[in-house]
Amino acid sequence: MSTENNNGRIAAISISKKRGIPKSNISSAILIENRGIDGDIHADGTYRQISLLSLESIEKMKKITPVKLRPGIFAENLTTESIDYVNIRIGTRIKIGNDSLLEVTQIGKECHNRCAIYESAGNCIMPDEGVFARVIKGGKIKVNDIIEVLADE
């Protein structure tokens, strides 16, 4: 695999014990192969083990809502900086730090009507701008780790 010019960093890591609520920020986490983030409700082995959203998407929302927004408010696990999810496809692999590897399994999602996230944030951007992935190779990740979007040669 080769690297596209679509690299960035982890701006925030977030987890929660319940579904459908904003997540709490943590400084590091353990990715568990075929499960998700240790301690997160979504670490259940389904195809949506990890959710990703760009910091740029959150910043865009800040311009149109009076609600104070922060990483994790849209229930994303990884808030990334400088990653363009527009051209990412299902099957794309994402390397985090030195060891961890994700594979994109879903682009966007069907949002629950007026869920706690929608109520907290004033809108939900995960249906249009969120990405979901499964953990191919686990390991420890931390805020500011480099993210590389990989492409087939």
Domain residue limits, the chain: 2-151
What is the pLDDT, as a whole number, of residue 15? 97
pLDDT, tens digit (0-9, with 9 covering 90-100), for 43-77:
988 899 999 999 998 898 888 777 788 999 888 99
Query: With a cut of 50, which residues of the chain have pLDDT below it?
Result: 1-4, 153
Residue 90: both structure tokens together: 């299902």
Structure tokens at 5: 């010019």
Write down the pTM of the prediction. Answer: 0.87
pLDDT at residue 74 in the model: 83
CATH architecture of 2-151: Beta Barrel (2.40)
Report, in angstroms and rounded to the nearest whole number, the Rg of the chain calculated over CA atoms. Answer: 14
Answer yes or no: are the C-beta atoms of 9 and 147 closer than 8 Å.
Answer: yes
- Beta 78-81 vs 2-15: how paired, if at all? antiparallel
